[in-house]
Each structure stands twice: as C-alpha cells, then as structure tokens.
A and B are shown apart, each in its own frame.
Chain A
C-alpha cells in the first residue's frame, strides 16, 4: 500500500480505484461529447469541442449551449448525485438493497414535486418562474420527510439494514399512492406533464435544472468525501464502530441527511430515474475492487450511466423515450439478481 504524505496530511493511494476513476472520467468526457453530437442537427466531435471552447458558428453555439449541453449536464449531475447518494446509503446500511429508490426518498421527493406541478396549474398558486424554484424545494422537502420518516420508524436502538429496507418499501408505497392521487385530482394537462416527469426524463432540461443540482454537488461532494473517512469505520457493527471512537449516531445521521438531499435534488431536476442509485455503487465497487462503494467513483459512474442511458433513450426508437424507461429496463433484472442472491445467502 503506497501513501501520499505531505506535512501532516496523508492519504492512502490504491492503484485500482485510482485507475478506475481516471478511466471513468475519460469515458464521461467521451459520452458527453457524443451526447452533444447526436440530434436533429448532427455535429462532428471537433465541432462540439470547438463550440465548447468558445468557437463555432452561432447556430452551433445555440444547439450546443442552449439545447444539448443543459440536458447532458443535467443527466451527468443527476447521475452523479444519485450515485453518491446510493453509495452513502449502502455503506451506512451495509446492504446493497439500500438506496434512495428502495428507501422511499426518491418517491417522497417525487410526491413533493408532483404537488407543485399539479397545484401550480390547477390552483394557480405557483406559476412560471416560481414553479421552477418551487419544484426543487418541494422535492427536497418531500425527500427529507420520507427519508427521515424511514430512519425514525426503522430506529430501534440502532439501525438494522433489513428493517430499514422494509420500512422504506412501505413509505415508497405511501408516497407513490399519494402521487397517483394527485395525478387523479389534478388538471389533465398538468397530470400529463407530471406523468412524463414521474418516469424520469431529461427532455427539455435547461440551465435552470442544472443549477440546483450543480450547487448541491459542489457543496455536498466535499462534505461526503470528508465524511467518507468515518464511513470506513462505520462499516462494522455499531459496537465495533463506537469502540473505534466514532460517534455512530451523529455521524450516521449527518451522512444520511447528505444522501437524502442529494437524491431529492436530483429527483426534483429529472424525476425519479429508476435504479441508478441502486446499481451505480455496486458497479463502482466491483470496478474499484473495494469492500465499500467508493464515493467519488460512484459520482463518476453514476454520471456515465445516466448520460449513456439518455443517449440510448434518444436514439434507439423513433420516439424519444424518457431516460427512466431505459434505466428501469436495465435495472429491474439487476434488482431481481440482488434479491435472489440475498435469499441464497440468508439460507446458508
């Protein structure tokens, strides 16, 4: 094991996770460029790079900076936020099933956001610009309520992974039904808009969607990486962790709030894109060869995953599909695999 030591600071350097992050970052850049190339006005790779560096014609500038870049960036950032959120949850709960989708956070955020979409139209309370600010906030509120409710209800002198997953499934059902109730009572047009949003879509995303997620990531990625050191000592049972001098409940609560905020903000921007937060940390973990989901690795892999899925969603079919359809098609078999595997382990 090599180490990087400068003065009083020191870090472990492991080759495989570093190589994995480097490769994923290159892949991320490639997918970003390809994503921007493809569309009704096809561009070449050099045109895209040129335009991004400030060159290109005015038409190219418009297509890249106004139409495609915000969508691609929303996908990238949402994927990163979901990946990180899932990684934190899975490390804390010590269960690969734990993720904001399963634990009700995503659907809580969904219910919050759909409230804004439907009430904004039919009641005229929130309109236009207010709705675009209100949506992330309502999503955040919904996600926090659902997430903290799961944490509180599953609490019994500590956290046990399986109980949290079960409570989460219950909260998911409640939030999902509330959302469907809103769709039923809401205006038809609003309900239609909300329906597309619920599937998880990057269609028509502009800079106003990029900004909240970008802000959340700028603040919370460093927080998570600093907290990640404690995460390493939290991966054993509570007693061992306390023995190592970790204030278990405090550390875990703070990290869970970070994970909930990340998932909620991401959901408010693009809808509940299914399975990304569930699968990303496990993919990153296998690629990096670590015992715990790597945090930064999960950010990058999540970004690649959502952008690639959106690329597929935009191109494979005559119609443009919502990205959530693609991630669900890929993710559902993976969830089944996890369930089968955990049952087998329980039997041994």
Chain B
C-alpha cells in the first residue's frame, strides 16, 4: 500500500483568508476516502488543492512523491481525474461528446479520436449504464443521469485517482446510492483510489474506508469510520448532539441527531 496523494503542511486560502491551515494528509492507493465537516470548514478547498485547482500558499501537494504544481498539467490529468461541484456543460452537448472530452489529456490536435479513445468512452458509458443515452443532450437529462454522465467523463479519462466534490448533491436518496455504488465498484473491481467530499455522514460511513473529519481548515480526526464517527467527534466538529448506533444493514456507524424537540433535559 503506497501513498499516492499527499498534503504536507498545506496552507490554502482566498485573498486574506486562510481556509486550509497547515494540513497533513496521506491518501493510500486503492482506498476510498470521504472528507466530512461542517459548511465552510475547507473540505472543498482541500479537495481542489489536492487536484491542483488552487495553488498552495505554503507547503505542498505531492502526487506519487512529486510536487504537483511543478508537473505539467497534462501529465497530472493522465493520473488524476476530478469532478468539480455542479459542473456545467454548454447547451446542446450530447452525452457521447461530454464523455469523449474525458479523453482530452490523451489526445493532440492531430490525434483527436484514436481507437483507444473510442473504446475508453464506450466502456465508461457502459459502466455507468448510460450507453443508451449517448445521443441525448446533457441538458435534457435528469439530475441522476447527468451526474452519471459526468462521472463517465472522469472515468473515460482513465485515471487511477479520482477526486469527487460532493458527487451526490441535488440527487434523491436512490440516486445517491446509485452513484456511491458506482464509486464502490470502481474501487473494488478496478482498484481506483477515490477521495470525495460528502455531506451525508451515514453514507460516508458506509462507502469510505477512511473518513477525514475537518473543522476550521484542520483535520480533527481521521481513520476507519467506526473510529472517527463518534458522539464526541460529532459534538466537537459539528456542534451536533447525536447518538451513534450500529447501521442495521452494514454494521457501520449510524448517526442519529437528537435535535431540540427530542432533547431530554
């Protein structure tokens, strides 16, 4: 098990504000990591810095031991794929064309559609179950279908590492499960390494090997879901009074918030 992606004393910020503060994190190859934390704790910023979308103010992000901001962006794109939160596609773009764009890091102006490209795109669409939507336009898809199309694009990129920023936002519960099952499949059958930001703690507990809890730009706890998702952590990180019980289906921690209505004085 080797470390694929690493943050070392990483500081990232916007303008005056420091959002990620001297943070250390190691992502081991072949694992699924979920980053959790309250709104504004810097989890999306961390993910974007890991994907070299934001520059490090100090410290560094290392991809396979090399400093990511010194690598050619194309070379990075052949190893690391990322799906931003709520990405946008132009009106009228077909699903097949969207997924085909994932091949960009493997192409050149004179090599725009090799047989490898064609094979990777159809395999990616097959895997997410959107092959029959290939000729539809992205704007006419439902939220769940659209998210699967974007994930297909990231898959067609053929990278070992995938960074997903809240891949389940705007999806109903059934579609959230669909998307996370897909992530699970990528991990178990293809050995991909996935880092994702998730809001739903119970889903994070079910689908991640490692949970990283953040508050105020720092990591408060990290480890197996059962070690991290404890009542004291929830109070500390989210300021949430909750019980943690065993998930009857998966055996992972299940967070049950108390709330004022049911609080026993």
Chain A interface residues toward B at CB < 8 A: 1, 3, 5, 8-12, 94, 225-230, 232-233, 235-237, 239-240, 242-247, 285, 290-292
Residues of A within 8 A of B48 (CB): 239
Inter-subunit contact B101/A244 (CB<8 Å): yes
Inter-subunit contact B74/A229 (CB<8 Å): no
Q: How far is the CA of A330 from the CA of B40 in the complex (A)?
A: 50
| Closest residue of A by beta carbon distance from B106 | A245
| Closest residue of A by beta carbon distance from B134 | A1
Q: List 19 additional A-B contacts (Cβ < 8 Å) besides A244-B101, A245-B104, A291-B92.
A: A3-B115, A3-B118, A5-B114, A8-B110, A8-B111, A226-B109, A232-B101, A235-B89, A235-B90, A235-B93, A239-B48, A239-B82, A239-B87, A240-B83, A245-B77, A245-B105, A291-B137, A292-B90, A292-B93
Q: How far is the CA of A230 from the CA of B102 in the complex (A)?
A: 12
Inter-subunit contact A232/B104 (CB<8 Å): yes
Residues of B within 8 A of A235 (CB): 89-90, 93
A297 to chain B, nearest CB (A): 15
Q: Does B96 contact A (CB under 8 A)?
A: yes
Inter-subunit contact B92/A245 (CB<8 Å): no
Q: How far is the CA of A240 from the CA of B109 in the complex (A)?
A: 19
Q: How far is the CA of A247 from the CA of B77 in the complex (A)?
A: 11
Given A233-B104, A236-B101, A290-B92: A243 and B84 within 8 A (CB)? Answer: yes
Residue-wise, chain B 71-96 has the 8 Å CB interface mask toward A (1 for contact) of 00111111001111001111111101
Q: Does B253 contact A (CB under 8 A)?
A: no
Q: How far is the CA of A233 from the CA of B107 in the complex (A)?
A: 11
| Closest residue of A by beta carbon distance from B94 | A291
Q: Does B167 contact A (CB under 8 A)?
A: no
Q: How far is the CA of A233 from the CA of B104 in the complex (A)?
A: 7
Q: How far is the CA of A243 from the CA of B78 in the complex (A)?
A: 10
Partner of B113, one of A11, A227, A240, A292: A11
Given A10-B111, A11-B112, A237-B88: A246 and B93 within 8 A (CB)? Answer: no
Chain B interface residues toward A at CB < 8 A: 48, 51-53, 73-78, 81-84, 87-94, 96-97, 101-102, 104-105, 107-115, 117-118, 137, 154, 157
Q: How far is the CA of A233 from the CA of B87 in the complex (A)?
A: 13
Inter-subunit contact B90/A12 (CB<8 Å): no
Inter-subunit contact B90/A229 (CB<8 Å): no
Q: How far is the CA of A183 from the CA of B88 in the complex (A)?
A: 46
Residues of A within 8 A of B78 (CB): 245
List 25 A-B pairs, Cβ < 8 Å.
A1-B118, A3-B113, A5-B115, A10-B114, A10-B115, A12-B112, A94-B90, A226-B109, A235-B90, A236-B87, A237-B87, A242-B73, A243-B51, A243-B77, A243-B154, A244-B105, A245-B74, A245-B77, A245-B78, A246-B73, A246-B104, A285-B92, A291-B90, A291-B92, A291-B137
| Closest residue of A by beta carbon distance from B92 | A291
Inter-subunit contact B101/A242 (CB<8 Å): no
A249 to chain B, nearest CB (A): 11
Closest 4 CB pairs of A and B: A245-B77, A245-B105, A291-B93, A245-B74
Residues of A within 8 A of B75 (CB): 245
Q: How far is the CA of A240 from the CA of B137 in the complex (A)?
A: 18
| Closest residue of B by beta carbon distance from A244 | B104
Residues of A within 8 A of B81 (CB): 243
Q: How far is the CA of A345 from the CA of B232 in the complex (A)?
A: 47
